[in-house]
Each structure stands twice: as structure tokens, then as C-alpha cells.
């Protein structure tokens, strides 16, 4: 029996090695995947690991890979490379964490004098408020070793911001960066840590400009770009009527605060929100339009076309156009990533290589992951690379048959091929990003494919060419008629978004999935896209498994906020009922509802008596919640503590419980303050409790 098992194992090993050898040209594409897996493993750990194991693993795996390659052992070589790349990604993330380490405010400061350089200005709430990011901060009465390097402040309503780059001083109330609103929710504290933002707060006095924007090239460019954005925004508001003027301002200046909130919600519900985020699509369109238009103009001069490499000249013009557009709309991380990918594509053209290749995408991903490993955790990174990888993999699969068809096609077949290409592109991009939409936003736009089939060509062939033409015509004073033509396209785009969002069942909401959904879906999707032979279909197994886990996730039965002000319990219908009606409408309540897969809250707790589903029984001192054959005491006052601590196994107290309260499971005021928001799942045996606090460098002090 053991002999048969050994023979079978040897046969499987040889088959795997043969398959790996067949796909040798695709091995390099797994390099950024291994790096990303190591980064993901580092961030998934509950506590900070020691720094030495990962470099040692890299040092041991590389000689093992070399030895396996010399012996012709493809399987052993692949295993050693996997270990080396995963360990390298782990080491990179650890090094990045140590490199960006900076002081973080430990507790609230009601008032402090803050001085610093204005590093960024971000309008909020439709432009009614403004956020400043201050760099090189000085806090009154605090030594430099305890002073945050960067502070983010929200100015009062209607307060004019100072110039970008100016040295300013103002009074402000400061707080540590906020922890997640729920376990597993978006962690701004971690994002702030890697941005070296050590405090957030609100302005409490007028701003004093100590020194205007710095002179020199940087100051001149900053002032010039700010003035140019203002000029473009003013011109757009003159030529285009609201609310679509906000879309034009967003696309041409990067100013999303100008967008109408209802229109923004419609774009999100229709699956068209990516058209409002300046990222891959817009940079590709600008670079591509500049490339093709300049190449066409250069080709119109026969002497140039016959004697000079005009295709490469056009590629350089495309790079310059993408970089200029990025400077104008703001160099945010997704925009920088898109410009990097566009630049690599143009470099491929300069080197006479195919710009539509997975090697190009792998190179871009590798550069980003090596320089900023924490970017892996962002929704924009995951969704943009998922869409690009899937689209290029589909292009590789259908390139030859489509090329054969197009060479023999008549007008009708060409039109059918174009329509089929739109359908395929929309379907592939939507399906590729679907798991990440579910993971990060807990909703899926069910009509997104149809909406994108209409909206993407409209944006690519009408709206963005008009934007590029308006840029070029602005110095000549010819932009208004172009903007008026652009308005027609924007009106159609807004109509597509609002009509789609108003359809019945336009948005499918689902609870936040568990931790396994992301790695399973990512592995399955990459396995499908990277390999080229039949075994690529094995990727469907983890992909479908991850989606199934995500769609069947069970939300927590009880949620408690860190400030001990809010509690929500799961009702018999699967919704959330809050301790007060107002709690459901604030930021924390919105996060809880979204992660529970709900658009609105169920009725608030009864002040006295039982809830409609019978799960809650309340009086002025607190409530008792019963679900899954388990009863939980929800205590609001000290008077009820003694009895509830004696009678119940699980007690959640919004007041300090003291040492006399000793049930098997106790969560009181100080637990919430020290550990952050709590999520509790009840069952017939023991409750499962998760907390928002992270024992990592970005966790609360």
C-alpha cells in the first residue's frame, strides 16, 4: 500500500514538474504575486513579528533554488522561489513599517498651537469645508521626539485655506488618528501611520501665515497649478450647467468636492464610480489620445513619416501628456500608479515591444510593491490590477481568432466585433473586480456591465477627447464651444448613471466577508489569468469558494462602539437595531449598516418593553438581548450592574463595571476605551468576540 502511494505521489510530482516546465515563460509573472503574498501575510499577523526570520528565509531559499535548477528539478525550483519571494515581501513590509515610524499622538489635546507647512489642501462636503495636511509640524509645549511629523486639520465652514506650501500657525484641537469603526472595517489609523500622519483635528482659531509658499521651482509650479485649476473650474462653471459641471470639474481638475452628492451616489449604485476616480482609465485615455493624435499629425508630413521614428516620438508625447494631466488633477496614489503603467506601456513602444502584456503589468506591480508595500491593502490597487490583469489575459486568449476574423470582416461583422468587444471588456472588468467590490464596499452593482457598455465608450470617444481638446484650446480662448459639446456627453453620462441606479434591485448588498475571501479570490483569479494551459481552470475552485464564503458570511449579532455610546443588535430579519435612532445616521452607524449588508436600520430599541421580534427586553437601566439560545445583558447604568453580573454569563456595560462584576464574559467601558469597537457573534456554546484594536505599530498607544 505504501509503495502504491509513493508511486502515485511520484507520478503527480512528475506531472506537475512537466506542467511547470511547459509554462516556464510565465514563471516571472508570479514574482509580484509572491511578493504580495508575503506583504499580505505580514499585515495579517495579529502582533508585530521579529525582523530576522524573513531575511534568513530569503538567504536560505535562493541557494536552494539555484541547486534545484542545476539538477533540473522544476518543482523544487518553483517551491524555493515561492519561499524566497514570499519571505522577501514579508521583509519589505517589515522594513517599510520601520522606515515610516513617526510619533503618534497618544491622547486628545483640547487646544494646542500648531505650526507647519501646508503639504496638501482637500475640499470637503462640496467645498464647504477644507482639510489641510501640515508637514514639519511644531506643537507648543511638546518636544520634537513626541511631535507628530504630519497633522491633518479640518478648517471651519467657509474658512479660506492658506496657499499651498505656506508656513502657518493656528490653534487646534487634536486627536489620535481614529481606530476602525468596527473590527475588520477600514483602518484609517493604519493608513495614517504609513502617511506619517500622527494626529487629526479641527482648527479652533484663525490661520496666521508666517511665510508664504516657498520660492523657487516647487513654489512656482504649485502656485501655477493652483491658479490653472481655478481658471479651468471657473471656465467650466461658465460654460456648463450644474449638476454635470461637477463631473467636468472632477475629470479636468481632480476636484471631487464639486460633484453633486446625489449624482455621486447614482454613479456608485450603477457601477460607474470608477469613471469619477482619476486612475487607470483616464490616464490611459489621455496618454492614448495624445499618442494617436500626435502620431496622426506627424504622419501627415511624409518626409517625417518616412525618415523619422514618429511612433516613438508619439509615445514620448503620450508620456508627457499623462504626466501633465497627473500634475493638473493631483498626484494621488491611484493616479501615480496609472501614470507609471502608462509610462511603462510607452517605454515598451519605444523598445518595440508589445505594450499590452502581463509582463508590463507585473513590472508595474513589482515597482509599486517594492517601494510602497502597504499599497497592497488599498481597494484601488486591488481593483485596478484585477481589471487590467483580467483584460490582458482575455486579450491574449482571443487575440488570434479575433485577428483572423477582423482581416476578413465586412462592415457588419466589424460592427458586431466592436459591440462584442465592448460586452467582453465590460463583463471581464466587472467580474474581475466583483470580489473586491464585495470585500471593500459590501455591494455589487447588478447592472454595472450594461451601464459600462454605454458609459465607457461615451467617456472614451466623446467626453475625454473633448477634455483634451479643451485643454489645448484654452490658451487660444476657444475652449467654451468645446466645453458645450462636452456638456452633451456629460448629460448623457449622468442620465445613464441615474437611470441605471433607479432600476429595481440595482444594488445587491451583502455582509462583509471573512478574512479568507480576499486571498482565495485573488489566488483563483491570478491562477486563471497567468497560466495558459488547461490547468488554469483549477483557479475556479478557490475563486468560487472565496465568493461563496463572502456571500454567506454571517454578520455579528452585537456591535459596540469604542466611545461606549452606541450599541447595535441583529434583529430576527437580519437587520440592525440601534440603541438610539440618531446613532444609525452617523459615521459609525453607516459603517455598521454597510458591513451588515443593509441600506437602512431597523427601528431603534424600545425605551421600555419588548422589541417587535422579541429579542430585546428593555427598561431605563438597560436591555436583555436573546439570540441563538444565549442571553446578553446590555447595561446602561450602575444600578443594574449587580443583578446583571450575577444572573448573566455575558455582560456588556456602557459604564465601568468594577472588580465585583465577574461574569465569564464581561465587556465594560474601559474594555471599549482600551480595545476599541467590539463585534460579538453568539452561538449555543461560547461567544466569539473580535476587537478593533491592533497590537501593531499603527495600533493605539
Dist CA 361 CA 359 (whole Å): 5
Q: What is the pLDDT of residue 652?
A: 93
Report residues of the chain scoring pLDDT below 70: 1-2, 7, 74, 125-128, 215-219, 405-410, 413-415, 417-418, 584, 701
**Cell 496666521 found at:** 208
Determine how β-strand 443-445 pairs with β-strand 507-509: antiparallel
Burial tier of 97 (Cβ tally within 10 Å: 0-12, 13-18, 19+): buried
Least Cα distance to 616 among 592, 593, 636, 632 occurs for 632
pLDDT digits (tens, 9 = 90+) for 180-227: 999 989 999 999 999 999 999 999 989 999 888 776 666 677 777 878
Spatial CB neighbours of 548, under 8 Å, sequence gap ≥ 6: none
Dist CA 580 CA 618 (whole Å): 13
Q: Answer positive or negative: Cα dihedral of 69, 73, 77, 78.
A: positive
Dist CA 405 CA 424 (whole Å): 16
Q: What is the DSSP string of 627-676?
A: ETTEEEEEE-SGGGHHHHHHH-SEEEESS---TT---SEEE-HHHHHHH-
Spatial CB neighbours of 172, under 8 Å, sequence gap ≥ 6: 111, 112, 114, 151, 153, 201, 202, 203, 204, 205
Q: What is the pLDDT of residue 460?
A: 85
Q: What is the pLDDT of residue 701?
A: 63
CB count, 10 Å around CB of 114? 28
pLDDT digits (tens, 9 = 90+) for 552-568: 888 999 999 998 889 99
Q: What is the pLDDT of residue 521?
A: 94
Dist CA 171 CA 165 (whole Å): 19
pLDDT digits (tens, 9 = 90+) for 92-147: 999 999 999 999 998 899 999 999 999 888 877 666 678 999 999 999 888 888 89
Partners of 134 in the beta sheet?
Answer: 118, 151
Determine how β-strand 567-570 pairs with β-strand 576-578: antiparallel
Q: What is the pLDDT of residue 409?
A: 62
Dist CA 363 CA 448 (whole Å): 30
Half-sphere CA count of 644, side-chain side, radius 13 A: 29
DSSP annotation of 177 reads: P
Least Cα distance to 419 among 447, 446, 389, 457 occurs for 457
Dist CA 618 CA 508 (whole Å): 33
Q: What is the pLDDT of residue 122?
A: 81
Q: What is the pLDDT of residue 83?
A: 92
Helix spans in 509-655 (H): 517-530, 540-551, 587-595, 641-647
Half-sphere CA count of 494, side-chain side, radius 13 A: 20
Q: 390 — alpha (psi -120 to 50), left (phi > 0) or beta?
A: alpha
Peptide bond into 243 cis (omega under 30): yes
**Cell 455598521 found at:** 592
Q: What is the pLDDT of residue 485?
A: 93
Dist CA 252 CA 229 (whole Å): 8
Q: What is the pLDDT of residue 218?
A: 66
What fold characterizes domain 109-214? OB fold (Dihydrolipoamide Acetyltransferase, E2P) (2.40.50)
The pTM (predicted TM-score) of the whole model is 0.88
Amino acid at each position: 500500500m505504501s509503495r502504491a502511494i509513493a508511486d502515485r505521489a511520484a507520478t503527480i510530482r512528475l506531472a506537475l514538474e512537466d506542467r511547470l516546465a511547459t509554462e516556464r515563460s510565465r514563471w516571472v509573472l508570479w514574482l509580484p504575486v509572491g511578493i504580495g503574498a508575503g506583504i499580505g501575510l505580514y499585515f495579517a499577523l495579529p502582533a508585530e513579528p521579529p525582523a530576522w526570520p524573513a531575511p534568513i528565509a530569503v538567504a536560505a531559499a535562493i541557494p536552494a533554488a539555484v541547486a534545484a535548477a542545476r539538477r533540473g528539478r522544476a518543482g523544487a525550483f518553483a517551491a524555493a522561489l515561492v519561499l524566497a519571494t514570499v519571505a522577501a515581501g514579508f521583509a519589505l513590509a517589515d522594513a517599510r513599517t520601520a522606515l515610516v515610524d513617526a510619533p503618534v499622538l497618544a491622547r486628545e489635546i483640547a487646544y494646542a498651537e500648531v505650526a507647519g507647512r501646508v503639504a496638501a489642501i482637500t475640499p470637503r462636503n462640496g467645498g464647504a469645508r477644507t482639510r489641510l495636511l501640515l508637514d514639519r509640524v511644531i506643537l507648543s509645549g511638546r518636544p520634537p521626539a513626541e511631535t507628530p511629523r504630519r497633522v491633518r486639520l479640518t478648517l471651519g465652514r467657509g474658512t479660506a485655506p492658506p496657499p499651498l506650501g505656506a508656513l502657518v500657525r493656528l490653534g487646534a484641537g487634536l486627536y489620535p488618528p481614529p481606530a476602525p469603526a468596527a473590527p475588520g472595517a477600514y483602518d484609517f489609523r493604519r493608513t495614517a501611520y504609513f502617511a506619517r500622519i500622527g494626529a487629526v483635528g479641527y482648527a479652533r482659531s484663525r490661520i496666521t501665515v508666517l511665510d508664504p509658499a516657498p520660492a523657487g521651482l516647487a513654489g512656482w509650479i504649485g502656485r501655477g497649478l493652483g491658479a490653472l485649476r481655478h481658471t479651468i473650474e471657473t471656465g467650466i462653471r461658465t460654460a456648463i450647467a450644474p449638476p454635470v459641471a461637477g463631473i467636468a470639474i472632477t475629470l479636468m481638475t481632480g476636484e471631487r468636492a464639486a460633484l453633486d452628492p446625489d449624482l455621486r451616489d447614482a454613479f456608485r449604485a450603477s457601477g460607474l464610480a470608477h469613471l469619477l476616480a482619476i486612475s487607470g482609465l483616464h490616464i490611459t485615455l489621455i496618454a492614448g489620445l495624445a499618442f494617436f493624435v500626435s502620431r496622426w499629425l506627424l504622419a501627415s508630413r511624409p518626409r517625417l513619416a518616412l525618415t523619422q521614428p514618429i511612433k516613438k516620438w508619439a509615445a514620448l508625447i503620450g508620456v508627457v501628456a499623462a504626466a501633465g494631466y497627473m500634475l493638473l488633477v493631483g498626484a494621488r496614489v491611484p493616479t501615480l500608479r496609472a501614470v507609471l503603467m502608462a509610462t511603462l506601456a510607452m517605454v515598451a513602444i519605444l523598445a518595440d515591444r508589445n505594450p499590452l502584456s502581463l509582463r508590463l503589468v507585473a513590472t508595474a506591480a513589482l515597482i509599486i510593491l517594492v517601494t510602497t508595500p502597504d499599497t497592497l491593502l488599498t481597494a484601488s490597487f486591488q481593483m485596478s490590477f484585477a481589471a487590467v490583469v483580467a483584460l490582458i489575459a482575455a486579450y491574449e486568449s482571443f487575440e488570434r481568432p479575433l485577428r483572423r476574423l477582423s482581416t476578413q470582416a465586412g462592415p457588419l461583422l466589424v460592427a458586431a466585433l466592436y459591440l462584442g468587444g465592448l460586452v467582453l471588456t465590460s463583463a471581464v472588468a466587472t467580474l474581475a473586480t466583483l470580489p473586491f467590490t464585495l470585500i471593500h464596499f459590501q455591494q455589487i452593482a447588478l447592472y454595472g456591465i450594461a451601464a459600462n457598455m454605454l458609459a465607457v465608450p461615451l467617456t472614451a470617444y466623446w467626453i475625454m477627447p473633448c477634455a483634451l481638446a479643451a485643454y489645448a484650446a484654452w490658451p487660444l480662448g476657444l475652449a467654451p464651444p468645446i466645453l458645450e459639446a462636452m456638456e452633451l456627453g456629460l448629460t448623457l453620462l449622468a442620465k445613464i448613471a441615474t437611470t441605471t441606479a433607479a432600476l429595481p434591485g440595482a444594488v445587491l448588498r451583502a455582509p462583509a466577508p471573512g478574512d479568507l475571501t480576499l486571498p482565495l479570490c485573488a489566488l483563483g483569479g491570478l491562477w486563471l489569468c497567468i497560466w495558459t494551459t488547461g490547468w488554469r481552470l483549477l483557479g475556479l475552485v478557490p475563486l468560487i469558494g472565496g465568493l461563496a464564503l463572502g456571500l454567506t458570511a454571517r454578520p455579528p449579532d452585537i456591535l459596540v462602539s469604542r466611545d461606549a455610546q452606541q450599541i447595535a443588535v441583529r434583529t430576527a430579519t437580519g437587520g440592525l437595531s440601534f440603541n438610539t435612532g440618531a446613532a444609525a445616521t452617523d459615521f459609525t452607524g453607516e459603517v455598521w449598516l454597510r458591513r451588515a449588508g443593509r441600506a437602512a436600520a431597523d427601528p431603534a430599541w424600545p425605551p421600555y418593553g419588548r422589541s417587535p421580534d422579541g429579542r430585546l427586553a428593555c427598561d431605563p437601566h438597560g436591555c436583555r438581548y436573546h439570540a441563538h439560545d444565549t442571553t446578553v445583558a446590555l447595561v446602561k447604568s450602575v444600578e443594574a450592574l449587580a443583578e446583571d453580573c450575577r444572573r448573566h454569563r455575558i455582560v456588556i456595560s456602557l459604564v465601568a463595571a468594577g472588580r465585583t462584576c465577574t461574569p465569564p464574559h464581561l465587556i465594560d467601558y474601559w474594555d471599549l476605551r482600551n480595545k476599541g469597537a467590539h463585534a460579538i457573534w453568539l452561538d449555543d456554546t461560547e461567544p466569539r468576540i473580535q476587537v478593533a484594536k491592533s497590537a501593531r505599530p499603527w495600533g493605539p498607544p
